[in-house]
Amino acid sequence: MLDTDFFRRWMTATATAVDREADRLTDLDSAIGDADHGSNMRRGFGAVTDVLEKESPGSPGAVLVLAGRHLISTVGGASGPLYGTLLRGTGKALGDAAEVSWEQLTEAFGAGVAAVARLGGAKAGDKTMLDALLPAVEALGTSAEAARDAALAGALATVPLPARKGRASYLGERSVGHQDPGAASAALLVAALAEAARTDEGGRA
Amino acid sequence: MRMLINVPETVVADALRGIAAAHPDLTVDVENRLVVRRDAPVAGKVGLVSGGGSGHEPLHAGFVGPGMLSAACPGEVFTSPVPDQMVRAAAAVDSGAGVLFVVKNYTGDVLNFDMAAELAEDEGVRVARVLVDDDVAVADSTFTAGRRGTGATLFVEKIAGALADEGAPLEQVEAVARRVNESSRSFGVALGAVTTPAKGSPTFVLPPGELELGIGIHGEPGRERRPMMTSGEIADVVVQAVLDDLRPTGPVLALVNGMGATPLLELYGFNAEVQRVLSERRVPVARTLVGNYVTSLDMAGCSVTLCQADEEMLRLWDAPVQTPALRWGR
């Protein structure tokens, strides 16, 4: 079973990865966007780390809802509402259980990703974060590692696509040949989940 | 990188402190990133709130004051503000008559303002929203996030702001804002790329002797790259692109807008060419505004926005306005 601490570790590992990769995310964004994805995500997950230290949410769902709310309040741009909705949606689907099973997490993460798709109006192949998240949801039933690999593969598969949503969509065909920064950061979030699972004996790593 | 900044992280806050010092008739909340006209909320008046990424100055903080915006929410550089800012702004300017959000069509702005509208309504503020999407350089909106909001934002904020100051109800202010947007089209050209403080180097490389056609206001490359042209040739392309889409049948408001790094000498020269093209196409120009109003940091280049204006729009355009960047008639 996955406890509250597992979800805190997931968020902290995401913050560390985002901080480490911020320059790469910004570089990806400068090719087809407006060169701020790394700094925005770093600011947002920095705030998440701070609030998780200050407050002690008492359940897995509460950790994710709190993290999502702080992303919405600090990131801005499209990433704030989209990542905020992803974590809030996942957290709400988990309810207030003190521990959740891997199957429950898989289902809840699927609900969070569906909420992102509804909010952004994007679908698979539009060159967005969904291109990493949708394959990750599929693979999460197997293992955290499979999800991590699927998300990374999905992010890399955005390279040859023309963007149809978000700022990059204004470049049309000129966005071809560049990895979507949102898909790249989503792959970091899923990799952090695998990292949290690896250090968790109860996880299915 | 050579920029007049301290560190990239405090660029927006530093600018807000500077705005506060220069404009005592504005209330500037540096911590919460809010610029509000000092006499807000004005009894019986609809509040007009806009906002967006910073880096487009004077948009939007420079348009706060009597006759235009009630409040502005500046985000990080080129990044939409967060819903908390807009909810605070709505609460600060609502007199009970409701609030109109003027939102430029970018995914981030749309999502954050939508979330803010829900939250503000939960707190009992009546909110309407108008989406500005005037950029004809976005070819096929079924394959993009839709047309970007650019220069028409100024027309919408000025005209709706004037009507709100007359005490018109929310529905009417919203309706005129929508009409102005639907009557406006824009097209932009870059002669140089943007350097954002966070990145510290140009967002794209524009070789000497080339220009970008169909740019937005976020330092992104445009629709195509072409060999450099003369001011007159650029005006031919830009104005034609706008007219092909707008097809005006009456007088227009014209905005010849600098992107931040193009001198007024060039902008005025370019305006002469714009007026020549409009005259050749038999499009009467009712009013013209030339200057840096909807900018993109240090981008060199310009955009042209035309609005087919009816009698009411012209009257509201001429109405007094007193803001840091736009003031006349008072």
Specify burial of residue A130 (Cβ count, 10 A radius: 0-12, 13-18, 19+).
buried
Three-class secondary structure of residue A25 per DSSP:
helix
Nearest CA in chain B to A28: B203
Specify the pLDDT at position B198: 81
Mutate to test the interface with B, among A23, A24, A26, A30 (most CBs of B within 10 A): A30
| Closest partner CB to B81 (pick from A43, A76, A174) | A76
The amino acid sitting at B37 is R
CA dist B120 and B104 (Å) reads 19
Two structure tokens written together for A103: 């199957």
The alpha carbon of residue B108 is apart from the nearest alpha carbon of chain A, in Å, by 4
Contact residues on chain B for A82, CB-CB shorter than 8 A: 111
pLDDT reported for residue A204: 47
pTM higher than 0.90, yes or no? yes
- Per-residue pLDDT averaged across B300-308, rounded? 97
Whether residue A76 and residue B108 make contact (CB cut-off 8 A), yes or no, is: yes
Pairing of β B301-308 and β B184-190: antiparallel
Average pLDDT, chain B: 95
Question: What tokens were used for B235?
Answer: 């005006």
d(CA B136, CA B157) in angstroms, rounded, equals 20
Q: How far is CA B217 from CA A95, B224, B293, in A?
A: 42, 15, 11
Shortest CA gap A144–chain B (Å): 30
CA distance B52 to chain A (A): 9
Phi, psi of A3 (to 5 degrees): -100, 180
| B95 backbone dihedrals φ, ψ, rounded to 5° | -100, 5
Q: Are B76 and B109 in contact (CB under 8 A)?
A: no
- Most A CBs within 10 Å, among B105, B111, B138, to test the A interface: B111
Across the interface, do A40 and B76 touch by the CB < 8 Å criterion? yes
Tell me the C-alpha to C-alpha distance, in Å, between residue B132 and each of A86, B129, B147: 27, 10, 9
Q: Which of A23, A32, A34 to mutate to test the interface with B (most CBs of B within 10 A)?
A: A34
| Sign, CA torsion B13/B133/B160/B183 | positive
Q: What is the pLDDT of residues B209-241, one digit of tens each?
A: 999 999 888 877 777 899 999 999 999 999 999
CA dihedral A37, A38, A43, A48 (to 10 degrees): 100
Long-range contacts formed by A66-74: CB under 8 A, 24+ apart: A66/A91, A67/A11, A67/A91, A70/A44, A71/A44, A71/A45, A71/A47, A72/B82, A72/B83, A72/B115, A73/A47, A73/B82, A73/B83, A73/B84, A74/A43, A74/A44, A74/A47, A74/B82
Choose the weakest-confidence range: A198-202, B67-71, B186-190.
A198-202
Those residues whose C-beta lies under 8 Å from the C-beta of residue A188, and which sit 6 or more positions away, are A14, A17, A18, A21
| Number of Cβ within a 10 Å radius of residue B274 | 28
Of B8, B82, B144, which is closest to A80 when you measure between CB atoms?
B82
Sign, CA torsion B236/B238/B240/B243: negative
The shares of helix, strand and coil residues in chain A, as percent rounded to the nearest 5, are: 70, 0, 25
In the prediction, which pLDDT does B139 show? 65
B118 in reach of chain A (CB within 8 A): no
ipTM for the assembly: 0.89
* pLDDT score of B254: 98
Own/partner contacts of B265-272, CB < 8 Å, gap of 24 or more, are: B266/B231, B266/B302, B267/B291, B267/B292, B267/B302, B269/B231, B270/B231, B270/B234, B270/B235, B270/B302
Q: pLDDT digits over B126-174, tens only? A: 999 999 999 998 866 567 788 999 999 999 999 999 999 999 999 999 9
B105 to chain A, any CB pair closer than 8 A? The answer is no
Give pLDDT, residue B141: 58
Question: Residue A200's pLDDT is what?
Answer: 62
Residue position matching structure tokens 């524009």: B206
Containing H/E element for B59?
A: none
Q: Along the 205 residues of chain A, how does pLDDT read in single tens digits?
A: 999 999 999 999 999 999 999 999 999 998 888 788 999 999 999 999 999 999 999 999 999 999 999 999 999 999 999 999 999 999 999 999 999 999 999 999 999 999 999 999 999 999 999 999 999 999 999 999 999 999 999 999 999 999 999 888 888 888 999 999 999 999 999 999 999 998 765 544 4
